[in-house]
Structure 1
Amino acid sequence: MTEQKNLLPKRRFKQFHNEIVWNQLELKKIAPLQRGFDLTKSSMKSGPYPVVFSNGIGAWNSEYKVKGPGVVTGRSGSIGNVSYIDDDFWPHNTSLWVTNFFDNYPLFIYYLYQNVNLTRFGSGSGVPTLNRNDVHDYSTSIPKIDEQIRIGNFLKHFDDLIILQQHKLEKTKELKAAYLSEMFPAEGEFVPKRRFTKFDDDWKQRKVFEFGNQISSGGTPKTSCEDYWNGNIPWIQSSDLTEDIVVIKESRKKITEEAVNNSATKIIPKNSIAVVTRVGVGKLALIPFEYATSQDFLSISNLNLDKWFATYALYNVLQKEKKSVQGTSIKGMTKNDLLMKEIMIPASHEEQQQIGAYFLMLDDLIALHQHKLDKLQNLKKAYLHEMFV
């Protein structure tokens, strides 16, 4: 009885509940793998056939080596990723491809290999390598073809939903980036390209230190002193902030009043903007509660501008700064450099409010799309775990 139970998945479609146990076989008898084919960049000729590398499709070629559909996984460099290819393709020599499906449903085999977790068979301390012989000896179980088709198509439906949700998320992020470039004046300009109706006055230039009446830095209480930690004062670190998200709801660590009294950190008023000035250029957040920070931050408090406009105006400038230092050894900026940066500001507080509210709406929409995507991915992961032995 125990052996039979182990040969059935936790979750099955109703019409298969009375079916016999799944057939237990080694992977080499289900869907064996073979090393891909050499193909140098110089010998590639642009064409309709995907070249599948260790981490997925990486190029297109005028010739193919394998008739689709196919299942490909990484052999060298990147292991664990599994690709399903509908059409004819060229498996690169950094990959392994299924040479024979033995009348099994290819889409089912694709999800079977995902569930196997191929990273466990990896070796090599430098460049990770997957030995197909180790994989071939792994024993697993498969159902009859009718059940394979139901499982494969069901999980494919989830993947289609995930792709659709990823598309919505990326489109909204692209929309935000486009409006950031159009709703703030370009360099040398006094008005933005895109504007809400009834506003036509020139914007004025102001330095960042003029955004608020209080500028604060932070510090780190002694980590060896237990009396300083697990209090009720949120202590923000750079790792608490997420790139492209300017809202933070909580901190991972909290400190005590004694920690504040005996270190360089200080309590900062709610609705202040915390900007990372060391490692993590481009990260900032409007903090809706009183908090303290590490020395990686500069906080601007008692704002003279609409709080959301000020946040997104700074975010826009820091994104440009981040792009300018990409590929260089620069990992941060001095606090003085940040405070002396000049930013164009609309004189009308109402215009500030409308701009800030618009970008907040876009960020809420991005967060909603991300939440739905996470939910779909977690649901698929659960089904993948429960629908295989």
Structure 2
Amino acid sequence: MKTETDILVVGAGIVGLATARALQLRKPGARVVVIDKEQDVAQHQTGHNSGVIHAGVYYKPGSYKAKLCFDGRVRLVEYLKDKGIPHRIDGKLVVATDTDEVEKMREIQRRCEANDVPTEWLTREQFREIEPYAEGVAALQVKVTGVVDYKAVAASYADDIRAAGGEIRTGTTLISGRPGLRDVTVETSGGTIVAKQVVTCGGLNADQVARALGANPTTRIVGFRGEYYELTPEKSYLCNALIYPVPDPRFPFLGVHATKGIDGHVHLGPNAVIALAREGYSWTEINPKDMVQLAAFPGIWRLAQKYWKYSIGEVQRSFSKEAFVKATQKMMPEVQLEDVVRAGAGVRAQAMRADGTLVEDFDFLHEHPRVLHVLNAPSPAATASLAIAEVIADKLAEAEQV
């Protein structure tokens, strides 16, 4: 079977769906097709995250993350209200548990000011009025942070695409592609698709998808699994909204935090350990091919050599409930071992360079004018999805003029 389309989007996670939606709405008469190898949309990062609507607290001023998180959050909240999708904007607390963390938290506040994120510095007495069971010496309140079910958001984007005349083909795997002067021929498990332009939003497989279409990315996607625990319903009163630690500035991970989701459940986590498969949500999910490729990548060894002490702590929290609870008790001392049960896990797609450095910003590759690859879109990509989609649509429009 052969299909001709104006735009093909590879990947039906939240970024791919937001992109297809933006392109379809910009060009009502165009034909937009989305393909994904899974049997439904939002099956990986979108469907396995904490559901936080991020404010843009930690990102380098002027970066894509900072700008698009701010713009994306505003657009997303408007969208949620318009569609009637349940969400809450309860704010969050970043808690300094000792005096050593206070200066780090002041630097976070300075970044917030640079990123136009409103914050308020709270004393212990003040923040305990908001979160009575949090403990520390001071806290930074970020009032515009919230929570939502991103699977529901993705499903709504998909509905928008179909309503505007677009098509979503799940269970369709990308095999290869050949960019040409006037179009791109893409081979899939469901037949050939000839598109005038292609956007790939491959998430955990972003680098492999780009190579399948003839690109040459210099980074590799490494999966970091984040595992969660959950407070028992009887202890959910220990967290009213979101309680975060002061993060280690060397890493793009925020540490074990507490999040009261849109369903009222309080999740604790995640940690961050290397996934043994690109889509490996537990230690028992191992993909030998992925492991061989990972072992052959020099970046992973350089990262491990530099941060082996940090990694040991993350692995320890993966295997030990006691260690996980101990990390939680630093900011929520009343949480006890019997108060938590294991919950789900997610895998974060993180682009890494061969020298072991992690790509800190959203990253796009546009080697060929008819093919644009989203190579790195970790958190806050879900929050920023509508804004990322507009950037991609602009890039494709510019390419059309060349």
Shorter chain as denominator, the TM-score bin is under 0.3
Higher relative CO (Cα under 8 Å, sequence separation at least 6) belongs to 2
- Provide the TM-score with structure 1 as the length reference: 0.19
- Provide the TM-score with structure 2 as the length reference: 0.19
Q: Which has the larger radius of gyration?
A: 1
